[in-house]
């Protein structure tokens, strides 16, 4: 870990009477890298979602008289080959990329948790049936199937919805496995046995007692997934199987680099989305590291 701070002794004393969540929060807040990353990510998210209020340029309007302009005062990052302002498209593109990333993460976590929790809690036949199914889904090469399924629905239903659905449907397996194993371990605890023996409904046991205890794992998983799914979206869009071309996304903007002229001579068209994408992923990774660290009772930083 790069971000070692050396104030271990003192903080440990203070944390004795704190709840685990408070400890985690405290640790996270002290993690400089994670905090900077959170701040950056938050800024990107806010700016992206406020894009319509920040910039007035039209994102889809092609402007023949302003094609491929270098960065200038009027166009901070220049214009692309259709005369559209790159800065504006970065903002709108971020909105789409982050939206896809978030929606997919939410869906994946939701589905993975449900399957994992049910399998882990009930065990036996339910468990083996659900896990067989999970294995089945996990055995599909992700990219291959997203492309094939995407090709089926391309142009038929709203492209963005389809993309989110397809990515989510193929990605929940890992979460389900992790949640299941956590639940399996957790349910052996006496308080769960007690809850079950006094006649708590299984749904209540899962939601009230089990899930809060695996929440930290889920949160860490969600950050890792968030980064991975943004990459998946942009990679697919780069290949032409992702977000429909009419909608700007970071991946779609990057696909301009497939033209040699753009790649070699007009780096202002492809570098901004490439850099912002990488930095965003980087910051999400740092946040993920920070969270993992914060939730880990053994780490004393």
By CB under 8 A, name the binding residues for other proteins. Answer: 2, 4, 60-62, 64, 67, 81-82, 84, 135-136, 138-145, 147-149, 151-152, 154-156, 227, 231, 234-235, 238-241, 244-246, 252, 254-261, 263-265, 267, 270, 274, 277-279, 281-282, 285-286
CB of 141 vs other proteins, minimal distance in Å: 4
CB of 276 vs other proteins, minimal distance in Å: 11
Compute the chain's Rg from CA coordinates: 23
CB of 296 vs other proteins, minimal distance in Å: 13
Show the tokens assigned to 143. Answer: 């990219």
Nearer to other proteins, 112 or 159 (CB): 159
Show the tokens assigned to 245. Answer: 């071309």
What 3-state class would DSSP assign to 78?
coil
Nearer to other proteins, 114 or 279 (CB): 279
The CA–CA distances, whole Å, from 212 to 29, 74, 115 equal 21, 51, 16
Show the tokens assigned to 46. Answer: 């806010």
Nearer to other proteins, 161 or 245 (CB): 245
Nearer to other proteins, 31 or 206 (CB): 31
Nearer to other proteins, 7 or 261 (CB): 261
CB of 175 vs other proteins, minimal distance in Å: 17
CB of 286 vs other proteins, minimal distance in Å: 7
CA 182 to chain centroid, in Å, comes to 21
Nearer to other proteins, 82 or 217 (CB): 82
What 3-state class would DSSP assign to 215?
helix
What angle in degrees, to the nearest 10, is found between the helix axes of 211-239 and 173-187? 170
Quote the CA–CA distance of 119 and 181 in Å, as a whole number. Answer: 9
Quote the CA–CA distance of 41 and 121 in Å, as a whole number. Answer: 36
CB of 267 vs other proteins, minimal distance in Å: 7
Nearer to other proteins, 35 or 274 (CB): 274
Show the tokens assigned to 102. Answer: 């978030």
β-pair partners for 61: none
Quote the CA–CA distance of 89 and 81 in Å, as a whole number. Answer: 13
CB of 180 vs other proteins, minimal distance in Å: 17
State the burial class of residue 296 (Cβ atoms within 10 Å of its Cβ: 0-12, 13-18, 19+). middle
């Amino acid at each position: 870990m790069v971000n070692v701070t050396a104030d271990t002794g003192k903080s440990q004393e203070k944390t004795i009477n704190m709840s685990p969540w408070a400890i985690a929060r405290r640790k996270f807040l002290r993690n400089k890298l994670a905090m900077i990353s959170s701040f950056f990510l938050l800024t990107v998210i806010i700016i992206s979602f406020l894009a319509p209020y920040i910039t007035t340029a039209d994102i889809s309007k092609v402007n023949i008289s302003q094609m491929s302009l270098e960065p200038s005062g009027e166009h901070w990052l220049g214009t692309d080959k259709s005369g559209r302002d790159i800065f504006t498209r970065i903002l709108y593109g971020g909105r789409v990329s982050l939206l896809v990333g978030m929606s997919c993460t939410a869906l994946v976590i939701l589905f993975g948790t449900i399957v994992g929790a049910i399998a882990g809690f009930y065990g036996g036949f339910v468990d083996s049936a659900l896990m067989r199914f999970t294995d089945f889904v996990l055995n599909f090469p992700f990219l291959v199937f997203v492309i094939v399924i995407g090709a089926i629905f391309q142009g038929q239903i709203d492209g963005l919805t389809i993309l989110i659905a397809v990515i989510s449907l193929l990605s929940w397996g890992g979460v389900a496995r992790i949640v299941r194993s956590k639940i399996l371990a957790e349910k052996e605890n006496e308080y769960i046995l007690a809850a079950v023996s006094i006649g708590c409904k299984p749904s209540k046991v899962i939601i009230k007692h089990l899930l809060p205890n695996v929440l930290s794992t889920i949160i860490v998983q969600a950050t890792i997934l968030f980064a991975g799914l943004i990459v998946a979206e942009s990679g697919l869009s780069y290949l032409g199987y992702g977000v429909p071309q009419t909608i700007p996304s970071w991946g779609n903007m990057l696909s301009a680099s497939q033209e040699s002229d753009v790649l070699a001579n007009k780096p202002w068209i492809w570098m901004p989305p490439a850099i912002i994408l990488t930095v965003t992923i980087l910051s999400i990774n740092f946040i993920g590291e920070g969270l993992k660290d914060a939730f880990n009772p053994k780490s004393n930083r």
